Amino acid sequence: MKINKDKIYDLSIVEYRWIETMLSEGLTEKEINKMIVRCLGGDEESSNIMIKVTLRLCEPQKLIDYLNSKNF
């Protein structure tokens, strides 16, 4: 993924704001996943977790753990 892992903990980074914008504009989760993977890399699961972090449904550490397990 094209995000510095240290920044993943900062919930005010532009990437999270971008996801919030897409959600507020009514894009589907599938559309958002596709955009995240295209622009930031990773895979569908990492983008799902990133959406959950954006929505405060899980902690950023879950995304870090997943990225580390997949060597992203």
Q: Does residue 2 form part of some domain?
A: no
The residue segments making up the domain with residue 33 are: 7-69
pLDDT one-digit tens code per residue, 3-23: 888 899 999 999 999 999 999
* Residue/partner pairs of 67-72 with CB below 8 Å, 24 or more apart: 67/1, 67/5, 67/42, 70/43, 70/46, 72/1, 72/41, 72/42, 72/46
With H, G, I as helix, E, B as strand and everything else as coil, classify residue 53. Answer: helix
User: Does pTM surpass 0.85?
Assistant: yes
Q: Does residue 35 form part of some domain?
A: yes
How far is it, in rounded angstroms, from Cα 24 to Cα 4?
25
Structure tokens, 39: 């622009």
pLDDT one-digit tens code per residue, 28-62: 999 999 999 999 999 999 999 999 999 999 999 99
Q: Does residue 28 form part of some domain?
A: yes
How many domains would you assign to the chain?
A: 1
Q: Does residue 51 form part of some domain?
A: yes
Helix axes 44-54, 29-40, angle to 10 degrees: 110
